A and B are shown apart, each in its own frame.
Chain A
Amino acid sequence: MAEATGVLVLGELAGGELASVSQELLAAGRKLADDLGEELTIALLGASVEGASQQAISYGADRVYAVTHPLLEEYQVDLNLAALESLCQETNPNVLLIARTESGRELAPRLAFRLGVGLAQDCLEVSVDPAAKRLLANRPVYGGNAIAVISCDLTPQIAAVRPKVYEPLEPDPSRQGQVVSFPVELESSQARTRIVERVEETSTGIKLEDARVVVSGGRGLGGPEPFAHLEELAKVMGGAVGASRAAVDSGWVPVAYQVGLTGKTITPEIYIMVAISGASQHMAGCSGAKVIVAINKDSEANIFREARYGVVGDWEQIIPAFTAAVRELVQS
């Protein structure tokens, strides 16, 4: 087989448009492709993917594979896997980047196994080893307490990249690229699972992942009722409410509130953490926050090693006064 070449990004669509995670991945992929002296391509899977193709080019792709089949209209992991497997076999990429999103976190390992290659999981940084011209991936282990640098020994070298660690490039609508149509053959019987129902549990309002301000509560709140205070503060600041796993496991708030390694990754301008100790697994989801504010009664809590501002004391006293003062400042 000819030598593997090119950096392939697995694109995701959101409402027919190129999803923001894919814009991020194109930025990461562009740098890798340039360092390797290879092409940057993107795979877009769907029933039709026309809208997003030119967008992908403007965000840095040299070539778009429009991987289409009517069965790809609704996302189903087995069908997407089969389509990607044939694309990889046909195009033989050197590097494959997949965003570690809801779908990517299952798809990436399964694709790697199907292709019989390794996967660098949950990467915070991908780069090219200048000597060996191989992919290097930095990934957190032990809930972020340590970082491992991994390389893949076979091709494609696959990395699952954590969302929101790369900034998209400035889109250039005049950029030229090629769109290659790649129809695939699929059978509906290849889908091994069926989605019976999909239920949204989050409240309406600003999404945690997109919020400029996030106020999170932890075990130290002691129950579900205090979250009403956090909701109020978040409302005054135009933000959203999150929680630690301890608060979620206690049943005080829905799972969708959880920030952290096994919850959501957030990147707000201000992250206010109330009665949360700052375990590494929580911090893994908020290390991209610009300013962290900690309110905790234990001056030894780990969170004071990560926060920009800290108030040592009882939230019951601090939060109402803080909320009132913020309201006044916002209104003045």
Chain B
Amino acid sequence: MALKIGVLAKQVIDPEMPMAAFRVDSDANKVVTPPNIPPVVNGFDENAVEAALLLKDAQEATITVISSGTEFALDVMKKPLSMGADELILLQDDAFGNTIDSFFTARVLAEAVRKLEGFDLIICGRQASDWDNAQVPLGLAELLGLSCIALCRKVDVSDGKVTAECTTPDGYEVVEADLPALVTVSNELGQPRYPTLRGIMAATRKKPTIWTMSDLGMDSAELEPRVTLRSLFVPETGQDCEYIEGENAADAGRQLALKLREDKLI
């Protein structure tokens, strides 16, 4: 039987945008969406797509990408399809905003996973590069009662088991769990593949399935937040840098050593 893989992918503001374009509206407690900078698929979620494709390279598998949000840039969200994923499910509703808590986001995604039925493996990014919460996948595993392996850099499936290499502070760990399971992956998994021309053509023909809150059988009474965002601000950072100069670059290096000595740092 083909392995049924779900990949959770979030659309985010491009984290590589110029710092100068980053603005916070402190009155509204929001990050201002920068004009003219297209959003991207969260980087770690592209790693998740790659992890799924590597499995599909080796065995029969289907890959369903699921994303929730208030609005989507379709060309951006189709990237996983052009990389080789089979299907895109967009959970789109004004209620699926970013400011409600991870609990709610995980609830919405869990509902979709249940509705789609029969996943053997769910692959998520380790964290979203906007709110850096690193919570939704772990919560999802709890809500769905799945075994959970976090921070994987390699994911293999055979004999009804997932075996993963997970990054630890000083190396890695090989961990296994029975399917169905959920794993989160990190950039150590390696560069996600580029879409091929054929992939791009195939993706343009595919239409995403769009579900709203009511399609998921949820209602706003379940929106009760568990965390509240009190305020959002840009921290004061930076200091005056003292530039060390010399007759040439090598001399500047020597002057730097003398400066650190003066400060009793060496």
Specify which of B24, B101, B133, B186 is in contact with A262 (CB 8 Å cutoff): B186
Q: Give the chain B neighbours of A117 by CB distance below 8 A.
A: 226
Q: Does B214 contact A (CB under 8 A)?
A: no
How close is B54's CB to chain A, nearest CB, in angstroms?
Answer: 17
A:130-150 near B, CB below 8 Å: 136, 140-150
In the docked arrangement, what's the CA distance between A256 and B188, Å?
11
In the docked arrangement, what's the CA distance between A188 and B74, Å?
46
Q: Does B139 contact A (CB under 8 A)?
A: yes
- Stretch touching chain A among B3-11, B87-95, B197-205, B237-245: B237-245
- Stretch touching chain B among A17-25, A42-50, A216-224, A311-319: A311-319
Q: Does A177 contact B (CB under 8 A)?
A: no
Q: Does B51 contact A (CB under 8 A)?
A: no
In the docked arrangement, what's the CA distance between A313 and B249, Å?
6
**In this complex, which of A256, A309, A330 has the most chain B Cβ atoms within 10 angstroms of its Cβ?**
A309
Specify which of B131, B239, B250, B266 is in contact with A330 (CB 8 Å cutoff): B266
Q: Is A122's CB under 8 angstroms from B143's CB?
A: no
Say whether, besides A146-B31, A153-B228, A308 and B242 are in contact (CB < 8 Å): yes
In the docked arrangement, what's the CA distance between A329 and B265, Å?
11
Q: Is A318's CB under 8 angstroms from B252's CB?
A: yes
Q: Does B194 contact A (CB under 8 A)?
A: no
Report the number of A-B residue pairs with Cβ-Cβ less than 8 Å: 252
Q: Is A304's CB under 8 angstroms from B241's CB?
A: yes
Specify which of A118, A306, A311 is in contact with B256 (CB 8 Å cutoff): A311
**In this complex, which of A122, A254, A287, A325 has the most chain B Cβ atoms within 10 angstroms of its Cβ?**
A325
Q: Does B1 contact A (CB under 8 A)?
A: no
Q: Does A235 contact B (CB under 8 A)?
A: no
Q: Give the chain B neighbours of A313 by CB distance below 8 A.
A: 249, 252
Q: Give the chain B neighbours of A237 by CB distance below 8 A.
A: 266
Q: Is A142's CB under 8 angstroms from B253's CB?
A: no
Give per-residue flags for B130-142: 1 if the beta carbon is below 8 A from chain A beta carbons, else 0. Answer: 1111110011011
Say whether, besides A192-B147, A194-B177, A309-B241, A122 and B132 are in contact (CB < 8 Å): yes
Q: Give the chain B neighbours of A202 by CB distance below 8 A.
A: 170-171
How close is B242's CB to chain A, nearest CB, in angstroms?
Answer: 5
How close is A82's CB to chain B, nearest CB, in angstroms?
Answer: 12
Q: Does B221 contact A (CB under 8 A)?
A: no
Q: Is the interface of B mostly helix, strand, loop or mixed?
A: mixed
Q: Is A200's CB under 8 angstroms from B233's CB?
A: no
Q: Does A228 contact B (CB under 8 A)?
A: no
Q: Is B171's CB under 8 angstroms from A200's CB?
A: yes
In the docked arrangement, what's the CA distance between A249 and B187, Å?
8
Q: Chain B interface residue count: which class? A: 35 or more
B:167-208 near A, CB below 8 Å: 167-178, 186-188, 191
B:208-263 near A, CB below 8 Å: 225-235, 237-239, 241-245, 248-254, 256-261, 263
Q: Is B103's CB under 8 angstroms from A270's CB?
A: no
Q: Is B135's CB under 8 angstroms from A151's CB?
A: no
Q: Does A58 contact B (CB under 8 A)?
A: no
In the docked arrangement, what's the CA distance between A280 and B106, Å?
27
In the docked arrangement, what's the CA distance between A116 and B226, Å?
8
How close is B161's CB to chain A, nearest CB, in angstroms?
Answer: 10
Specify which of A136, A148, A269, A322 is in contact with B257 (CB 8 Å cutoff): A322
Q: Give the chain A neighbours of B191 by CB distance below 8 A.
A: 249
Q: Give the chain A neighbours of B253 by CB distance below 8 A.
A: 311, 317-323, 325
Q: Chain A interface residue count: which class? A: 35 or more
Q: Is B22's CB under 8 angstroms from A110's CB?
A: no
Give per-residue flags for B89-109: 1 if the beta carbon is below 8 A from chain A beta carbons, else 0. Answer: 000000000000111001000
Q: Give the chain B neighbours of A270 by CB distance below 8 A.
A: 260, 265-266
In the docked arrangement, what's the CA distance between A148 and B149, Å?
28
Give per-residue flags for A83-123: 1 if the beta carbon is below 8 A from chain B beta carbons, else 0. Answer: 00000000000000000001001100110111011111110
Q: Give the chain A neighbours of B167 by CB distance below 8 A.
A: 255
How close is B184's CB to chain A, nearest CB, in angstroms?
Answer: 9
Instruction: Please name the residue on chain A nearest to B126 by beta carbon.
Output: A262
Q: Give the chain B neighbours of A77 by CB distance below 8 A.
A: 148
In the docked arrangement, what's the CA distance between A308 and B241, Å?
5
Specify which of A195, A261, A321 is in contact with B250 (CB 8 Å cutoff): A321
Q: Give the chain B neighbours of A169 by CB distance below 8 A.
A: none
Q: Is A194's CB under 8 angstroms from B250's CB?
A: no
In the docked arrangement, what's the CA distance between A120 and B259, Å?
42
- Where the two chains meet, the residues of B that have a C-beta atom closer than 8 Å to any C-beta of A are 15, 19, 22, 24, 31, 101-103, 106, 126-127, 129-135, 138-139, 141-143, 147-150, 153, 163, 167-178, 186-188, 191, 225-235, 237-239, 241-245, 248-254, 256-261, 263, 265-266
- Where the two chains meet, the residues of A that have a C-beta atom closer than 8 Å to any C-beta of B are 77, 102, 105-106, 109-110, 112-114, 116-122, 136, 140-154, 192-202, 209, 237, 245, 248-249, 254-256, 261-262, 264, 269-270, 280-281, 283, 287, 291, 293-294, 302, 304-314, 317-326, 328-330
A141-B31, A198-B173 known; 17 new pairs, CB 8 Å cut-off, are: A112-B139, A119-B135, A136-B230, A140-B132, A142-B31, A142-B132, A143-B15, A149-B232, A150-B230, A193-B176, A195-B175, A245-B187, A270-B266, A280-B19, A309-B256, A311-B253, A318-B256
A-B residue pairs in contact (CB < 8 Å), sample of 7: A118-B227, A147-B235, A198-B171, A200-B171, A270-B266, A325-B253, A325-B254
| Nearest 6 Cβ contacts at the A-B interface | A118-B226, A322-B253, A325-B257, A321-B253, A317-B249, A118-B227
